[in-house]
Amino acid sequence: MTFNSLHFLIFFPLVVLVYFLIPHRLRWLHLLLASCYFYMALIPLYVLILFFTILIDYVGGILIENSEGTKRKAFLFLSLVSNLGILVVFKYYAFLTANVSSLLGAFGISWEFPGWSIMLPIGLSFHTFQAMSYTIEVYRGNQKAERHLGIYALYVMFFPQLVAGPIERPQNLLHQFHEEHFFDYTRAVSGLRLMLLGLLQKVYLADRLAVYVNQVYQSPHDYNSTALFTATLAFTFQIYCDFSGYSNIALGAARVIGFTLMRNFNSPYLARSIPEFWKRWHISLSTWFRDYVYYPLGGNRVSGLKRIRNIFIVFLLSGFWHGANWTYVLWGLAHAFYYLIGMILPRPKSSPLVAVFETLYTFALVSLSWVFFRANTVSDAFYILKSILFELPLSAFSPAAFRGPGLWVPFIGLFGLFLLEVARPRMQLTSLFQRCPLWIRWGGYVAALLLLWNAGVINAIPFVYFQF
Amino acid sequence: MKKLLLKTLPIVLTAIVLQILLYSTPYRPQIFDSVKEFETELSKGSDTLIFGDSVTLLYARDDQDKRTLGEMIQARLAPKKVSVFAHEGRHMGVYRSYVKYLSDNPHSIRQVLVPVNIRTFSTYMDRRPGFEFNIERSVMEWGSHPIAKSFLFPLMVFKGIAQDTITQKEYDHLPVYHGSQRIGEMGDYSHSRFLAYTDDNARNLLISNYLEPISAEHRRVKDISTLVELCQSKGIVPLFYFTPLDYMEGERLIGEEFATQIKANLDVIKKVLVGHGVKSLDLSFTLPTDHFMWKDHTYLNEHLNQKGRLALSETLAGYLTQDSSLGSM
């Protein structure tokens, strides 16, 4: 089930209603069944893979907690290998075998691996990473092993964040399933408001931008540099609206039923450097890599060369996490290079002008890296980059480039979103909105609903991050 | 929770009222283009409407006369005005939806000519992604309703109405039947339409297009009944004809069973038509193979060439003129 479907718009109020009507002791079961239904509405059989990982990590967590020394390490190792094994089999098998075959072919050895044609289970990378964070935290002694199998299953399967995060930590989420939540009007309204914003980001902005982006990126050689530039800029906003829209709906839905999920985005395109961008973009994944890969490798407290190695490892893994394709690996590498350059270059003295320049510079670097992320092949990506960097005429920056492909409609909305993000750290937008007269607040909700109903596109693509 | 419901309700109701008001203006999203196109055809003021699909629409590259079947019939019946609605891939379900639109709106149509293209009843055509036309059908069926029309677009955006009911992957795994025998999966047969004309490719297509038995419970057969009932309730005369097929090629490639299975399938439909007291003209086995072209488009299929369209247009013009319950035109 996707958030932007009628199915979900019926499912969610029913889940909320039943949740607050039944006694606390039954709520975990209700949420677990709802989450199963939510997941099985996509491909029912894949729930078995989830059950398998849940069982392994549930047992793994208890065994880790009850043992010490090498045994404890061995149980963690087994749990991690099982999780990563599932990820490799379903997500990376075709990529790895194709590349090994090509490599062997280069040495004149012909070797064909058995075929494995299966659709990637939705959100596999997300719930696998969330499950791994549980066993690692139990191993580190930061989290007590969960004895209630149903609650643990819910930790992995909680429907608002099951298929595209945020990738939660057990310390933040697990205890919330044990606590009794009472319906809170203010909290529910704030959750619904967040869901509405997320839906607008997806339906009105991301899906509209995607129409042009898909058209151009499908056959980039048919388009000139202006179109490639415009489509790349459009994708920069599409991916943000798509993913942060999803996260907002997830956070909002969880908030309505009384749960707090971690914030996944914090105005990333307003970052003034690449390291800052990574503190604001897909926060749950970047902190996952920081906590479970970068720090264990030594983090910043190692020699310069080792630090460079650590940065490359983290970004390569991050690229690979996104997909079994060299384009994602290159995207990760590009960010590793950006990160290193940012470390080497001295930062100018801060001033408003410098701040604007740094923000634009970071935005340009990030936008260019998205070319690798979105292109269908590596050669397409390099063709698009060459075209944008060396053949772009000045006319590409004129409003005509956006009017032509009909992008002005979502760009009006993007301007609104930009104002919102600029204003957010400076003023208390929520309380400001709540202080507005009733007719303005209600008028805003009505306008948002009308926009949602009329500004979307039919046959829109699912959330981009579902495929990871 | 009661407070939330009480505050949400007026907001949602206001939005609903405004949405209905928006659709009482001339504003329409692109999905309503089919209504515009159909309205243009109806505005001619003709009393006859002809439906059609690719069989009657396409022409061969070397045809001298590139007119569609509809245009040929219009020319034969001139100066009488005839409206034509023909698009590739359309089937009985789509025609039914257009007739529903006729039954909901004022017009001058008094008879409709409906082709029964038996291959549109096959799983190959009927279930193929992109060929169910659910969006177009919903717009035609509900586009005249003052409230329903206001929410068709939002419903489509939120996937309440989907263009297709299955994915390409699911389609590829659907069974292909040769009579009662299951002989493979659709993916192994349907791709033949994109290949060069060879006996094997043409045979694969003919099998998947024609050799699956159909029953009176088939959703497109039921569409016939609904179409007829809608017409009869509004005093419109439905006239059916079974489109010609390249039976000679079918017999050459498959044998006698080709015609046997098709006749059995035609009988199922004829029985339904007879049950409703409706006339039909069976032209399935009337045109020889030189009246068809197979290779002139991006996909393989038996479409009528100039010779075929001329012959068929003559027969159909006569059918409309002589057999029409409206009398001589």
Establish if A5 touches chain B: CB-CB under 8 angstroms.
yes
- Cα dist. B247→A426, B254, B299 in Å? 76, 10, 19
User: Bridge-partner residues for B239, per DSSP?
Assistant: B113
Q: What's the rounded Cα separation, in Å, for the pair B143 and B38?
A: 12
Select from B1, B12, B158 the Cβ nearest to the Cβ of A6: B158
With the CA atoms of A367, A373, A379 and A382 taken in that order, what torsion angle do they form, in degrees rounded to the nearest 10? 20
Mutate to test the interface with B, among A2, A3, A5, A6 (most CBs of B within 10 A): A6
pLDDT at B297: 65
In terms of CA atoms, which chain A residue is nearest residue B10? A442
Residues of B with CB under 8 A from a CB of A: 1, 3-4, 8, 10-12, 14-15, 18-19, 22, 29, 31, 135, 151, 153-160, 163, 169
Q: Are B158 and A188 an interchain contact pair (Cβ–Cβ within 8 Å)? A: no
pLDDT bracket for residue A237 (50, 70, 90):
very high
pLDDT at B164: 85
**Residue of A135, A144, A128 lying closest to A53 (CA atoms):** A128
Sign of CA dihedral A76, A82, A85, A90: negative
| B33 close to A52: Cβ distance less than 8 angstroms | no
pLDDT at A117: 67
The ipTM (two decimal places) reads 0.83
Global pTM reads 0.85
The mean per-residue pLDDT over the stretch A252-270 comes to: 95
Choosing from A7, A24, A30, A322, the catalytic residue is A322
pLDDT tens digit sequence for B186-242: 888 877 777 777 888 888 888 989 999 999 999 999 999 999 999 999 899 999 999
pLDDT bracket for residue B326 (50, 70, 90):
very low
Q: What's the rounded Cα separation, in Å, for the pair B212 and B262?
A: 9
Select from A185, A203, A445 the Cβ nearest to the Cβ of B11: A445
Select from B4, B12, B154 the Cβ nearest to the Cβ of A188: B4
pLDDT tens digit sequence for A389-426: 998 887 777 777 777 777 888 888 888 888 888 888 77
pLDDT at A302: 87
User: Which residues of chain B does A185 touch, with a Cβ-Cβ cutoff of 8 Å?
Assistant: 1, 3-4
Select from A7, A183, A460 the Cβ nearest to the Cβ of B1: A183
Strand duo B111-116 + B48-52: pairing: parallel
Q: Are B159 and A4 an interchain contact pair (Cβ–Cβ within 8 Å)? A: yes
Torsional class of A32: left (φ above 0), alpha (ψ -120 to 50), beta (otherwise): alpha
pLDDT at A231: 93
HEC profile of chain B: CHHHHHHHHHHHHHHHHHHHHHCCCCCCCHHHHHHHHHHHHHCCCCCEEEEECHHHHCCCCCCCCCCCHHHHHHHHHCCCCEEEEECCCCCHHHHHHHHHHHHHCCCCCCEEEEEECHHHHCHHHHCCCCCCCHHHHHHHHHCCCCCHHHHHHHHHHCCCCCCCCCCHHHHHCCEEEECCEEEEEHHHHHHHHHCCCCHHHHHHHHHHHHCCCCCCCCHHHHHHHHHHHHHHHCCCEEEEEECCCCHHHHHHHCCHHHHHHHHHHHHHHHHHHHHCCCCEEECCCCCCHHHEECCCCCCCCCEECHHHHHHHHHHHHHHHHHCCCCCCC
Residue B325 predicted with pLDDT over 70: no
User: Which residues of chain A does B8 touch, with a Cβ-Cβ cutoff of 8 Å?
Assistant: 192
Q: What's the rounded Cα separation, in Å, for the pair B128 and B124?
A: 6
Q: Name the minimum distance, in Å, from the CA of B79 to any CA of chain A.
A: 42
User: Which residues of chain B does A9 touch, with a Cβ-Cβ cutoff of 8 Å?
Assistant: 158
User: What percent of chain B clears pLDDT 70, i.e. is strictly above it?
Assistant: 96
In terms of CA atoms, which chain B residue is nearest residue A454? B154
pLDDT bracket for residue B298 (50, 70, 90):
low
Q: Are B29 and A454 an interchain contact pair (Cβ–Cβ within 8 Å)? A: yes
Within 8 A by CB and 6+ apart from B110, the residues are: B47, B48, B235, B236, B237, B326
Select from B1, B3, B157 the Cβ nearest to the Cβ of A458: B157
Q: What's the rounded Cα separation, in Å, for the pair A194 and A254?
A: 10
A and B: number of Cβ contacts within 8 A:
66
Establish if A439 touches chain B: CB-CB under 8 angstroms.
no
**Residue of A3, A444, A461 lying closest to A252 (CA atoms):** A3
In terms of CA atoms, which chain B residue is nearest residue A458? B157
The mean per-residue pLDDT over the stretch B88-96 comes to: 92
Q: Are A6 and B160 an interchain contact pair (Cβ–Cβ within 8 Å)? A: yes
Six-digit token pair at A271? 């970052």
User: Which residues of chain A does B1 touch, with a Cβ-Cβ cutoff of 8 Å?
Assistant: 17, 20, 183, 185, 188
Q: Name the minimum distance, in Å, from the CA of B153 to any CA of chain A.
A: 7
User: Which residues of chain B does A118 touch, with a Cβ-Cβ cutoff of 8 Å?
Assistant: none
Within 8 A by CB and 6+ apart from B269, the residues are: B116, B118, B121, B214, B221, B224, B242
pLDDT tens digit sequence for B38-54: 999 888 889 899 999 98
pLDDT tens digit sequence for A140-149: 999 999 999 9
User: Which residues of chain A does B135 touch, with a Cβ-Cβ cutoff of 8 Å?
Assistant: 458
Establish if A445 touches chain B: CB-CB under 8 angstroms.
yes
Mutate to test the interface with B, among A5, A446, A451 (most CBs of B within 10 A): A446
Which of A24-38, A150-164, B158-172 has the weakest average pLDDT? B158-172
Select from A6, A17, A119 the Cβ nearest to the Cβ of B155: A6
User: Which residues of chain B does A445 touch, with a Cβ-Cβ cutoff of 8 Å?
Assistant: 11, 15
pLDDT tens digit sequence for A343-395: 888 878 888 898 899 999 999 999 999 999 999 999 999 999 999 999 888 77
In terms of CA atoms, which chain B residue is nearest residue A456? B157
User: Bridge-partner residues for B261, per DSSP?
Assistant: none
pLDDT at B327: 35
Select from A192, A454, A460 the Cβ nearest to the Cβ of B153: A454
Six-digit token pair at A190? 């704030």
Residue A250 predicted with pLDDT over 90: yes
Select from A4, A453, A459 the Cβ nearest to the Cβ of B19: A453
Mutate to test the interface with B, among A2, A204, A454 (most CBs of B within 10 A): A454
Q: At residue B271, what is the residue type?
A: K
| B230 close to B103: Cβ distance less than 8 angstroms | yes
pLDDT tens digit sequence for A191-216: 999 999 999 999 999 999 999 999 99
For residue B115, report the phi and psi dihedrals to the nearest 5 degrees. Answer: -80, 135
Establish if A446 touches chain B: CB-CB under 8 angstroms.
yes
A282 is catalytic: no
Mutate to test the interface with B, among A22, A182, A449, A466 (most CBs of B within 10 A): A449
pLDDT at A398: 76
Residue A341 predicted with pLDDT over 80: yes
User: Which residues of chain A does B149 touch, with a Cβ-Cβ cutoff of 8 Å?
Assistant: none
**Helix (H/G/I), strand (E/B), else coil: A62:** helix
For residue B44, report the phi and psi dihedrals to the nearest 5 degrees. Answer: -70, -20
Q: Are B154 and A17 an interchain contact pair (Cβ–Cβ within 8 Å)? A: no
Establish if A161 touches chain B: CB-CB under 8 angstroms.
no
The mean per-residue pLDDT over the stretch B12-32 comes to: 91
**Residue of B119, B75, B71 lying closest to B244 (CA atoms):** B119
pLDDT tens digit sequence for A295-308: 999 988 888 889 99
The mean per-residue pLDDT over the stretch A255-269 comes to: 95
From chain A residues 86-145, the ones with a CB under 8 A of any chain B CB are: 119
Establish if A456 touches chain B: CB-CB under 8 angstroms.
yes
